[in-house]
Amino acid sequence: MAGFLLIESSTKTCSVGVSVDNKLIALKEQSSENYVHAELLHVFIESMLEEAEIEWADMDAVCVSKGPGSYTGLRIGVSSAKGFCFGAKLKLIAISSLKSLANKAIMELPGYDYYIPMLDARRMEVYTQVFDAKGDPVDRMEALILQEDSFKELCDKGNCLFFGDGSTKFQSLASCETAVFKDVDPGIEGMVADCYDKYEKEDFENVVDFEPLYLKEFIAGKKSE
């Protein structure tokens, strides 16, 4: 069996958990408009491990949400994950925050052809990516400036579910009448299966060099705030 500490800090939700293989056994999280990751992350982890009677010796890897998302939240989450890896000599696994949110939506709201998570990137811009019903990416992730006809061709192909804190501004703008908008809260539940899969494949990050995926910098010059 393999044990994992999971950290999601890319949104306004501070979410931590522990999984064994592909089963979640402990969870602690809180959402706030004030981005409380700096105050809560380490406190949550310590109390969660104590309440679940889990030792660092039971851990094999730290799995962190790598982005895109809040710059500050990502820096805090990734820095903490790297510190735990160095201190406890653990492997580092990174999961896309968009993929994690899509996984959670598929678990909670099955039956759609396409799942489109949207994370707020200020103004009329969102971080987004399209996934199919199996959670496989249909296109690349991007920082997208929303327009009325965004995703219209995709909506014509099948049932589309939009969710995430950036989807509300698209809901009032979208010209596609068949688009469905639902609330899906971010959290580490969507990381569990992918974390175990990456561990089995030994798909680890270099702890020294790993940096968050801010995305806007990654595609600098193509999109602007």
138-156: per-residue pLDDT in tens? 999 999 999 999 999 999 9
Domain co-membership, 126 together with 110: yes
Together in a domain, 80 and 19: yes
- The answer to whether residues 126 and 194 belong to one domain is no
User: Do 192 and 91 share a structural domain?
Assistant: yes
Task: Say how far apart CA 203 and CA 116 lie, in whole Å.
Answer: 25
Give domain status of residue 77, yes or no.
yes
Percent of the chain with pLDDT over 90: 83
Q: How much is the mean pLDDT over the chain?
A: 92
Range with the largest mean pLDDT of 50-54, 110-114, 175-179: 110-114
Please check whether residue 220 lies inside any domain of the structure.
no
Give the global pTM. 0.92
- The amino acid that residue 191 corresponds to is M
Amino acid occupying residue 131:
F
Full residue range of the structural domain in which residue 67 is found: 3-97+186-200
Q: Is the pLDDT of residue 77 over 90?
A: yes
Whether 221 is covered by a domain: the verdict is no
The tens digit of pLDDT for each residue in 9-45 reads 999 899 999 999 999 999 999 887 777 788 889 999 9
How large is the average pLDDT for residues 46-51? 92
* Tens-digit pLDDT profile for residues 84-127: 999 999 999 999 999 999 999 999 999 999 999 999 998 899 99
pLDDT at 223: 38
pLDDT for position 220 = 41
Residues 130 and 80 placed together within one structural domain of the fold: no
In this structure, what CATH number is given to the domain that contains residue 111?
A: 3.30.420.40
The pLDDT score that the predictor gives to residue 212 is 95
Confidence class for position 175, pLDDT limits 50, 70, 90:
confident
pLDDT value for 217: 60
Q: Which of 175, 120, 123 is nearest to 151 (CA)?
A: 175
Q: How many angstroms separate the CA atoms of 97 and 119, rounded?
A: 9
Residue 216: predicted pLDDT: 76
Residue 176's pLDDT is what? Answer: 84
Segment 184-207, tens digit of pLDDT? 999 999 999 999 999 999 999 999
Tally of structural domains, the chain = 2
Q: Is the pLDDT of residue 224 over 90?
A: no
Instruction: Say which residues have a Cβ less than 8 Å from residue 199's Cβ, sequence separation at least 6.
Output: 2, 4, 60, 61, 91, 93
pLDDT tier, 210 (very low <50, low <70, confident <90, very high otherwise): very high
CB of 6 closer than 8 Å to CB of 192: yes
* Residues 169 and 143 reside in one and the same domain: yes
